[in-house]
Structure 1
Amino acid sequence: MIELGRQDMDPSRRGVLGAALFSAAMTIPAWQEVVGRLEAVRLGRTASIGMADVEAVRAMTEKVSELDDQFGGRYARPMAAAFLVNTVAPHLRAEGPAEVRRAMLSATSDLLYLTGYMAVDEGLHGLAQRYYLKALELAGAAEDHLTYCTTLRGMSVQAVDLGQGAKALELADAAAAASPQAGPRMLAFLTGQQAHAAAQQGDRAVALRRIREAEAAMERAESRSKAFGSYDPAALNYHIAQVRYELGDVAGSVDAMKASTKAQYSHYRRGSVRFHAILAERQLRIGHLEEAVDSWNTALDGYPFVHSGRADQRMAAMRSLILPHLKNPGVAELYERSRPLVPSREAV
């Protein structure tokens, strides 16, 4: 039975906020196991829903996503969690025409995916997996291939960021296999993640083949419809950077990150902070100290506005990495600038 319970979603519960484990042994429901399972959603008789309710869930998802992009998961996720418990869960138990109920399941699945993504940003990896697994179940019940595949890919991103390369590759491959009719942009979206996971596993041949496939798919996509979410050539260049880095080409990774234009992040402040911090770390590794300082200063521009566990980690790393270089005036200035900002976050 698919349910949204307060024990999983209520942001005020200490058990939820304390969840930080990633289970590499979790069981992922296959598309065939979840598709069309409308009977799994318990019906109630106290309310009915219509397409206006579905549109409200979709609008809330869009607004929460915008807040997440600007302010981070720690800021936006509690809103989504409360909305899931107090508004969406009753909708899932309500009566309504079959097409409305299916649309509600799809909209809820998308919101669950976003909420899981924000939990990852907070560093609550066990909680994120619970959201993701529920998103998979509801996507199957709604016969929503797009959200199902997107969620699997999101789980792969979570795994690769945690160094779980084998699980990341398994999830990325499952996402691609579940989307056999994907258009070129979706194909690039999925294949780029396969490349990153394969690179982390040290499989150079597969990683390079997959990234070439992603590049070819993106070239075809550029002459077609609008971008799939934020996945565009700039996002693909970021994947190229990740593949190069995992394969030991740090300088090539820096070049690819520079090619991943600032336009990609101009509307995504949280992403910009993390992107520039990672770029700075890699610039430092290849001896480009002044460029690294510039990138870290750019990250610090947005950092005070962002409530993000991943951003906190990157800023704390910066403070440690620049310590050996404090005799450099630019580094000393950066260190002093970060002093009132970063220490208050390191204990979060």
Structure 2
Amino acid sequence: MTENRIGGPVGLDVAADPVEPGAAPPGVTAKEFVGRSPGQLAWLRLRRDRVGMVSGGALVFFVLLAVAAPLVARVYGKSPEDRFSKLLDRNGNPLGYAGGMSPEHWLGIQPRLGRDIFIQIVYGLRTSLMVAFTAAVLTIALGILIGIVAGYLGGKVDAVISWFTDLTLAFPFFIFCFAFVPITVAQFYGPRDQEASWFRPLLLVLIFALFNWTYTARLVRGQVLSLREREFVEAARASGAGLGHILFRQLLPNLWAPILVTFSLNVPALITAEAALSFLGIGILEPTPDLGRLISDSVVYLRDDPAFTMTGGVTLFLLVLSFNLFGDSLRDALDPKSTR
């Protein structure tokens, strides 16, 4: 009997033979065939995305710079409180080229105050990322809890939660902040009292968590509505599983992909909101370094010292852009059909 090209007898269709689940395809040895989990496949797709890897590397750089801010200050030899008044002229403008840039002051000197801009930006990154990450974690947790309950229970519970979500979305965020922040500060501190350095960041985190949970809740609710009738949920109900087990052991593990994407896109939105509030004067106050307040202070010197405005603005722009690009790449990696 003659043999065909793959070594089987003529007349036998080897390729048509059924392959057992998990077995290697015909012609492939077991060592060459390696099964991959959905997470491993997503990581492979993300590694092939150049934009995702570059933006992810930029995020790692920004995060490490913010976390290691005290170490950077020690190596750099300057702290956020140091003032270099001797490097300012009579009008408070930095001496030298491009706002006082030099080997000792990489990004120049802050006008009028005489502080080093580079170390202000490093500690400003730390403040912005700390507020944004903390608020994002609380926001995601609250949105998951509300959305998964509304989507699974449905009925009147879903109607009430949906109504409250719409009400929160319709509330003017910045107008609320202009009214709420001064009133809250006045309840804890008198006109001559000095605010604690932790008070204003904590207040902003609570405000962000109060308003920003709605997007996550709507996303989770929509996903749960399509999952609650699936066979594995019916099997859990039939086996007598409780409500908590179904919500957090059966449904929640199937929601991590959209939740991770939402988190990656939520952080830059919170960074921008925190910078905007500080720019408007109701966010982080002196002496805590902050990117939004640094940009606000630089507007006055836009004509005399444009480099001062550029440094803070470009840093905030690159930080938010890196988060947005990485979030888009992460979404494409977790859900490749989204690009089709």
TM-score with structure 2 setting the length: 0.23
Q: Which structure features the higher share of helix residues?
A: 1
- Larger Rg: 1 or 2? 2
